[in-house]
A and B are shown apart, each in its own frame.
Chain A
Amino acid sequence: KNQVEQSPQSLIILEGKNCTLQCNYTVSPFSNLRWYKQDTGRGPVSLTIMTFSENTKSNGRYTATLDADTKQSSLHITASQLSDSASYICVVSGGTGFQKLVFGTGTRLLVSP
């Protein structure tokens, strides 16, 4: 079964600190991996999209890595800000069917002042 697992489920960090979120997947065949940020009560917003050949991709203070061999990805947030408080969802595109994306359950991040 195609699955995406994220850890930790939730995380509290102090403002200004760094953190790393993890994503493991079993989706096959693999097309690409995305990280989304979802603020409470809002729709997800794309942070990065990585294909099989990409190992790392940055978007400001967000850096995503991908190891397609071990089927693992991470999202590193540098110098966290209060506005980073949100759920971060790992999404893998692949499997069968038209454009079917497999979503993880997300990591809920709280940045504390």
Chain B
Amino acid sequence: GAGVSQSPRYKVAKRGQDVALRCDPISGHVSLFWYQQALGQGPEFLTYFQNEAQLDKSGLPSDRFFAERPEGSVSTLKIQRTQQEDSAVYLCASSTTGGRNTGELFFGEGSRLTVL
């Protein structure tokens, strides 16, 4: 596609429910990132994929958060047993470059999660 696509754009979950957020990066982009953005704050790093390999997951806040990119394209961020503090916008970004050389990032519009 022309840009990074995320779905759903908005998700309301009851506390304790599991949610799955999807990211379709720009075709051919090697790197994929997930970020969490709280209201009025800058994005916080969650995890990084180079193709299908999850090379860095140091930003995941707890073991309730899980991300995968099994075929090196589409990625899913799953949050189990959601808590109110998980309420945030989850941004996905992709880049043509891999490894430690950070290229230009293209962001999706984000998935806004509200946990009641």
| Set of chain A residues within 8 Å of B41, measured between Cβ atoms | 105-106
Q: How far is the CA of A32 from the CA of B102 in the complex (A)?
A: 9
Q: Do the beta carbons of A44 and B100 come within 8 Å of each other? A: no
Closest 10 pairs between A and B when the two form their complex, measured CB to CB: A43-B107, A103-B42, A99-B102, A93-B102, A105-B42, A98-B56, A98-B55, A43-B109, A44-B107, A103-B43
A101 within 8 A of B: yes
Q: Do the beta carbons of A101 and B102 come within 8 Å of each other? A: yes
Distance in Å: Cβ of A51 to nearest Cβ of chain B = 11
Q: How large is the interface on B (under 10, 10 to 19, 20 to 34, 35 or more residues)?
A: 20 to 34
The interface of chain A, by Cβ under 8 A from chain B, is 4, 31-32, 34, 41-46, 49, 89, 91, 93, 97-101, 103-106
Q: How far is the CA of A13 from the CA of B99 in the complex (A)?
A: 41
Taken residue by residue from 37 to 55, chain B's Cβ proximity to chain A (1 for < 8 Å, 0 otherwise) reads as 0001111110010100001
Interface centre among A4, A32, A99, A103 (most CB of B within 10 A): A99
**CB nearest neighbor in A for B38:** A105
Q: How far is the CA of A99 from the CA of B47 in the complex (A)?
A: 10
